Homo-oligomer: A and B are copies of this chain.
Amino acid sequence: MKTAAEYRERIMALKPNVYMGGEVVSRNDPRFTPELNVLSLTFDLAQEPAYEGVMTATSHLTGERINRFCHIHHSVDDLLNKQKMTRQYVQKTGFCILRCMGIDAMNALSVVTHEMDQELGTEYNRRFLDYVQDFQKRDSVAAAAQTDVKGDRSKRPKEQADPDLYLRVVEKRRDGIVVRGAKNHITMAAHADEIIALPTRVMTEGEEDWAVAFAVPADTKGVYLVSRASSPRPRQSLPAPVADQGWADSFVIFDDVFVPWERVFMCGERQFAGRLALLFALFHRHSYCGCKPALTDVIMGMTALVAEYNGVEKANHVREKLAEMIGVAELVYAAGVAGSVNARPASSGTYVPDVIYCNVGRRHAGESTYHEMNILADIAGGLPATLPLEADYNNEKTGALLAKYIMRNPKIPAEYQQRCFRMVGDYLCSSWGGGWSVAAVHGGGSPIMETIAILGNYDLNAKKNIARRLAGIPEQ
């Protein structure tokens, strides 16, 4: 396993292809510091004995101890531990650990490359296992680029006015392929070693060119990372961990990018495109069953803290709202547990969690996020929106007056009260908090996508047969 310092060093050695605010920027731009802090944490905690076995795993390929973010799940316990790891990391960062897309993409590829080889006689899995071994050794950080820009959503890839609106193969060469297109909302692509591209949907006949999966180093020629960094307002005099963390999303453009065959994991097998797309989504929704409960933990913790500071912690309606949030967190986590416990090994040996449980869990989380923000806003009152700026607390004239008038419980220092409301303001009233909420709805698939997955996989006829039998109608 590598250290955070090693990780940062190699990231800074990448060729400059990150754009932000109209210019090429360094991957070390100060606006990226929060994202680097978060990613570094995934190296730091993996070194700590306390997290052994949760944040680390044993490679099924080499038998070596590796960062769990590089692991292919080979048991129910692997899945339970991945979920546990995710919740613990997110409780630390307060919003997202950023690195889970990689593990989810790798696991999906481990299954589908094997299935393609079995059915079609291809050799994707061999290539992929080589790639995994190197990935684990380098302790790589990967961004999964799945979501195409999609153009007119009422049309299929092949029907778009511009065929590039879904990423596609524009040329096949002896040594590799050339791809063109763009992937959107790609978190931490600006600080990934690798970008792993996956199809975003089922592909039908005639859409072979869009059935493509591969991995490229993040600074490959032709890759543009147009990025937007987001973090809570930087602190002036009241530093706080929450303000040191953040992320950047990238609009990832593949402008005729060459990919050597050794890094191509699907190319034209359109009948497997949907399988890969959905399997990545499944692993990622399983991750969400770990991270979303932690997000609820954070909102719940803030709500309880602000209720304490406001002196309303014992109020019945506050207690009921906290209990409601506990319900969301633990139902979603339970769904992940049930998804893990009911996992089944694929032909590759990879453990695949249960599709229904992961989807009902992720959906419940996604449907609850804004409601949780509502509860926090409700209990916090107006101050997260109207708290004067830090500098006004430092001003000679107004500082003492503000400290006097922010007082609530006399036992809690004015500074703590300011700290509490400033943090709540970061969540409720900042562009970062707003982006975070949108991500909580859409990341890993919007609730409507989970509904589609649920309806596509659930045996409703079995339930109708229960009704038929009770009614005295022959089962079908």
Interface residues of A, Cβ cutoff 8 Å to B:
19-23, 91, 94, 147, 149-155, 161-162, 164-165, 182, 184-185, 224, 226-228, 230, 233, 238-242, 249, 251, 253, 255, 297-298, 300-302, 304-305, 308, 310-312, 315-317, 319-320, 322-323, 326-327, 330-331, 333-335, 337-339, 341-342, 356-357, 360-361, 363-364, 369-371, 373-374, 377-378, 380-392, 394-395, 397-398, 401-402, 404-410, 416, 419-420, 422-423, 425, 428-431, 433-435, 437-439, 441-443, 446-448, 451, 454-455, 458, 460, 462-473
Contacts and interface: CB of A to CB of B under 8 A. Distances in A.
Contact of A395 (B23, B322, B433, B455): B23
Given A334-B357, A392-B19, A249 B385 contact: yes
Binding site secondary structure of chain A: helix
Contacts of A370: 370-371, 373-374, 377
A317 B439 contact: no
Contacts of A241: 469-472
Contacts of A155: 311
Contacts of A165: 405, 407
A363 B310 CA distance: 22
Nearest to A407: B151
Given A22-B394, A153-B408, A394-B22, A419 B302 contact: no
Q: Ordered nearest first, which 4 A-B pairs have the shortest CB separation?
A: A22-B391, A429-B434, A301-B463, A334-B338
**Residue of A316, A327, A364, A394 with most partner-chain B CB within 10 A:** A327
Contacts of A435: 385-386, 429
A391 B224 CA distance: 15
A240 B471 contact: yes
A240 B468 CA distance: 10
A472 B240 contact: yes
B377 A437 contact: yes
Contacts of A360: 326-327, 330-331, 334
A267 to B, nearest CB: 22
Most buried by B among A94, A301, A322, A397: A301
A188 to B, nearest CB: 12
Contacts of A162: 404, 407
A226 B405 CA distance: 12
Contacts of A451: 319-320, 323
B161 A407 contact: yes
B382 A184 contact: yes
A244 B124 CA distance: 55
Interface centre among A316, A363, A377 (most CB of B within 10 A): A377
A371 B368 CA distance: 10
A433 to B, nearest CB: 6
Contacts of A312: 153-154
Contact of A377 (B226, B304, B441): B441
30 contacts: A19-B398, A22-B395, A149-B406, A161-B407, A162-B404, A226-B401, A238-B472, A242-B471, A298-B466, A301-B460, A301-B463, A301-B468, A305-B471, A316-B317, A327-B363, A330-B357, A330-B360, A331-B335, A334-B334, A334-B357, A334-B361, A369-B374, A370-B374, A377-B442, A384-B438, A385-B434, A419-B472, A422-B471, A428-B434, A429-B438
Contact of A455 (B154, B323, B335, B447): B323
A434 B438 contact: no
A401 B338 contact: no
